[in-house]
Structure 1
């Protein structure tokens, strides 16, 4: 075999160098890698060669691309328990992540049939609807939509805007505690809007959770739908009584 035949392809050498950069901590989990243009300049090659290297790294699970955002070092998925008490901020902190929420929209409108049934209302009764983005260390983990009975909580949306926490907002409106009455999990594919917010590719796997939260008197206070980015969250079903768990 000649030396020319033994020569390592340039794209492979780039992948090896970037892999070493990650191994040595120069880029940590969740960090964004330099752009294709910057890597092309660093290694003195064209973008196609860099793209080949990044694709190989992605196939090996080292990095992942987010449409319109760039290429990021893969993270260990965040453990997210789902039990009788689901608290986003507490769950993230237990996983060692910094929680955050971005409120996308809030409105008061008439309830549809599904919302009314979940909240024990007559169809058409007013509900508050809050759409937002749940973050961990600044990275999008999930989209959420929370629906609340408007007549019972007239100032709730103002509290959510001010506190960026459903738990704190409900407490301010007189609900000191609430628990999960039901949860339904369904595997889905990200639609264009979900992909944009979660920085995924359209069609990437997501997991939808639909739940109803109730107060201590078993009255529904929230009907919530959450769409989790499939590669960033490991959902764990917990038994709050026994302490057992089942990982999804």
Structure 2
């Protein structure tokens, strides 16, 4: 009778421990060095076992951080009011944002069309990383009309929240006018920022938010990690092209 490969035996042990609740969703597994010492094998064997867990959909690796047990995807509502902090808080998660860039520059053709302004008009561009319980779940890029909202960049630096920054700039409320959803695969840069593999599935949303007078105030792109977020569309948005 053929012997079970050592890497498979290690993978089975770890799978059983995850199933038994020794490692909960979101927990970090021991390092390769720690597992190698535990099982008395080299790190290559451990790496093969961890790769099998990933293939089973039980874990994911974050570059520079380690291997983590996959958590249940977080429901993220796409409706008339899309609010990052509110969505994650309602799902029982801790939302945070990490600012990557904030700049003011001339608009391109798509940005100008979405914001109903001449091409080349100045816009504030806010790019960042959205995290749930310290796990990256999305990259975002939001574009705002700079002439109408000249101080918005300062408010975004202070608050990091789009809702609070717009309120401070004089936009008391805003709603989603349109949303487009597209399945994509992660580029090398996106994979590095999100802690996933290049080519992993992601979901891109492209949305336009308008103020209470129907004037566009934000043109946004968000790239969600496919296995960490479940997008939930309400009836109003599901009917949009």
Fold match, TM over 0.5? yes
With the shorter chain as reference, the TM-score category is over 0.9
CA RMSD of aligned residues (A): 1.8
SS at match of 1:206: strand
In 1: Cα distance, 2:205 partner to 2:114 partner: 14
Q: CA deviation at 1:14?
A: 1.6
Of 23, 26, 31, which residue of structure 2 is paired with 1:30? 26
Deviation sequence 1:44-103 (CA, Å, 0-9, x none) = 111222122222222222112234432210111111110111000011011111111001
Q: Does 1:53 align with 2:49?
A: yes
Q: CA deviation at 1:8?
A: 4.2
Deviation sequence 1:166-199 (CA, Å, 0-9, x none) = 0111111111110000111111111111111001
Superposition TM-score, scaled by structure 1 size: 0.91
In 2: Cα distance, 1:70 partner to 1:214 partner: 41
Q: CA deviation at 1:136?
A: 0.4
Q: Which residue of 2 aligns with 1:231?
A: 227
Of 198, 210, 216, which residue of structure 1 is paired with 2:212? 216
Size of the aligned set, in residue pairs, is: 239
Superposition TM-score, scaled by structure 2 size: 0.93
Matches within 5 A, 1:202-213: 202-213=198-209
Deviation sequence 1:206-230 (CA, Å, 0-9, x none) = 1111000000100000000001111
In 2: Cα distance, 1:148 partner to 1:157 partner: 9
Q: Does 1:65 align with 2:61?
A: yes
